[in-house]
Amino acid sequence: MRVKSSLINIGAGLANQIIITLLSFISRTVFIYTLGIEYLGINGLFTNILAMLTLAEAGLGASIMYSLYKPVAENDHYRINVLMKFYRNAYMVIALVILALGLAIMPFLDFIIKDSKVENIYIIYLIFLLNTVAPYFYVHKSSFLNVCQKNYIVTAVYSASSILSVLIKIAILHYTENYILYLVIDSAITITNSIILAVIVNRMYPYLKNKVKDKLDNETKKGITKNVKAIVLQNVGNYLVFGTDNIIISSFVSVVAVGLYSNYNMLMEICRTFINQVFNNIYHSVGNLVAKEHVDKVYSIYKTYRFLNFWLYSFFTIFLAIMLEDFIALWIGAEFVMEEGLLFVLMIIFYERGMRNSITTIKTTSGIFNEDRFAPLCQAAINLVVSIILVHKIGIIGVFLGTLVSALAVPFWTTPYLVFKMVFKAPVRNYFMVYVSYLGIGIGTYILTNLISGFLQVDSVQSLLLKGLICFLVPNLIYFILFYRTSEFQYLWKVLSNITLRHGRKTKVYSSS
């Protein structure tokens, strides 16, 4: 049942992402040619600033979701309602806190934004703030669907609304070039999404409307509070590592540089989102697995998860490293390609961060929050110090070298150490031996793929597509040859074969009836 739910969610997520990606490229192209790169920089900057404000809720959602796995698995309606009531009330308070913090930041915007000619900055910022605050009044409902492994419902709603939103915003940009109207439409659709999901959840799980007078018992509340404190520290650290890049670039380089980098970041995030459609939908299945199964079963599934994680992240790293700058040059012009060496650093960060995905999933679904609560703050301190020093010396590359150095100094080894010690009861060297072997295979595959594709000069859409085809086929063919005999590959192949066979039988029955 866990596998079936995960595959349904993955299929829905991937289909949605393909549609949204195509529309996003059209939207980004229209955005750049109608408003310009400076507005793109403001867009990225305000997104980063407001991501900082959402740290007010950091940890609450993850901790309560962890607390819900067991009552959902046991179908304990009363316990679920008590937790959901606490969840809802907490988010009401958090929404008000984020609003207050957001308003408090407004007087300092002029100090953050360097050399910008964008008008109505404060109005634009207020719309961004509203768009951030509004969903918190309903987020507990959509989160419950995720715990119940019904992510595909959330995906379906967001797919429909995203398509509608992008089409309307493209029309607004093309015909009016009005950025404020563009943002208002985005806010209206975001709020509507939240309301629709709340109605769907209430209809699917009518017992959630039952009123409960009891409050959380002290033991559960104490556990949630402990986890929240730990996750807050972790998320604050993570934000200072990944959420401050645009702010540093805007403050020490320029808002235009933020806009140029945002194109690189958009393409990387599209790839990351495709991968996350697989892993986010497996996440809650793993949570259910950890809550019910023996550690040996969890470790067996983890090895398969780790293998799939490597295959996907190494493939996309290779693909982006070879294709990204050619794509940007052909898409919007060679003047949007950034300085040499930046892409190489970004790709190392992309791969390293992605390869921690499988081990981090086991860590969070096992409830390991408190043990490394200070690690992200250490990482953040290293990141900020190194980034600010290097940005003065070598420019924008220095910002991302700070991110890379801090990642290798802290989470690269602390996360696997805790999981292998506390969950798998095995030496962490097992993790790093496999990691190094995968890394060697990935580097060798990149060198071969780059060598083969390097004979092709990209100067047209046709040559870009041909180079992309080479970059798609070569890594996947190499991985298939190397791994098809492994137990992890055989397990995934069996799951896909069973699903395909079952789907074929259903199709045959429907066609003959």
Residue 193: which pLDDT band, with cuts at 50, 70 and 90?
A: confident
For residue 503, pLDDT over 50 is answered with no
Query: What gap in Å lies between CA 103 and CA 129, rounded to an integer?
Result: 8
Between 507 and 40, residue with greater pLDDT = 40
Confidence at 510, pLDDT banded by 50, 70, 90: very low
Q: CA angle, corner 256, sides to 251 and 99, nearest 5? A: 60
Mapping DSSP to helix (H, G, I), strand (E, B) and coil, where does residue 480 land?
A: helix
With beta carbons less than 8 A apart as the criterion, state whether 417 and 371 touch.
no
At 34, the amino acid letter reads T
Instruction: Give residue 280's pLDDT.
Output: 65
pLDDT at 275: 86
Q: What is the mean pLDDT of residues 320-327?
A: 95
511 confidence band (pLDDT: 50, 70, 90): very low
pLDDT greater than 60 at residue 505: no
Check residues 62 and 218 and name the one with the higher pLDDT: 218
214 — phi, psi (to 5°)? Answer: -70, 150
Q: Quick one: average pLDDT of 115-124?
A: 81
User: Alpha helix (H) ranges present in 209-356?
Assistant: 218-242, 245-252, 255-292, 295-331, 342-355
> Does the structure show a pLDDT above 80 at 126?
yes
pLDDT at 450: 96
* Alpha carbon separation from 485 to 88, 441, 476, 490, 491 (Å, rounded): 48, 16, 15, 7, 10
Residue with token string 């996907």: 312
Structure token digits, residue 135: 């969903």
Please give the Cα distance from 110 to 108 (Å, whole number).
6
In this prediction, residue 282 has a pLDDT band, given cuts at 50, 70 and 90, of low
Return the minimum-mean-pLDDT range out of 58-72, 402-416, 431-445: 58-72
3-state secondary structure of 205: coil
The residue that leads in pLDDT, 408 or 283, is: 408
**Residue 327 pLDDT level (bands cut at 50, 70, 90):** very high
Q: In angstroms, rounded to a whole number, what is the distance separating the alpha carbons of residues 123 and 145?
A: 34
- 197 has pLDDT over 70: yes
Mean pLDDT, rounded, for 22-29: 79
The letter for the amino acid at 501 is L
Average pLDDT over residues 60-78: 73
Q: Which of 16-30, 40-54, 331-345 has the highest mean pLDDT?
A: 331-345
Q: Is the confidence at residue 432, as pLDDT, over 90?
A: yes
**Cβ-contact 315, 278 below 8 angstroms:** no
Pairwise CA distance, residues 324 & 79, whole Å: 49
At 131-172, the pLDDT tens digits run: 888 888 777 777 777 777 676 777 778 778 878 888 888 888
Query: For the residues of 381-406, what is the DSSP string, one character each?
Result: HHHHHHHHHHHHHHTHHHHHHHHHHH
pLDDT for residue 290: 60
Tokens of 278: 């697989």
pTM of the model: 0.71
Among 164-168, 381-385, 488-492, the range of highest mean pLDDT: 381-385
Q: What is the pLDDT of residue 506?
A: 47
The yes-or-no verdict on residue 227 having pLDDT over 70 is: no
State residue 41's pLDDT score. 82
Cα separations in angstroms, 110 against 61, 107, 113, 122: 33, 7, 5, 10
pLDDT given for residue 143 in this prediction: 77
Q: Which residue has the higher pLDDT, 84 or 355?
A: 355
- Residue predicted with more confidence, 146 or 490: 490
Token couple for 389: 């020093």
More confident residue, 135 or 445: 445
Residues 6+ apart with CB under 8 A from 85: 212
Average pLDDT, the chain: 82
Percent of the chain whose pLDDT exceeds 70: 83
| HSE toward the beta carbon, residue 423, CA cutoff 13 A | 30
Q: Which residue has the higher pLDDT, 11 or 74?
A: 74
Rounded to whole angstroms, how far apart are CA atoms 293 and 286? 10
Report residue 143 as tokens: 């989160």
pLDDT > 80? residue 258? yes
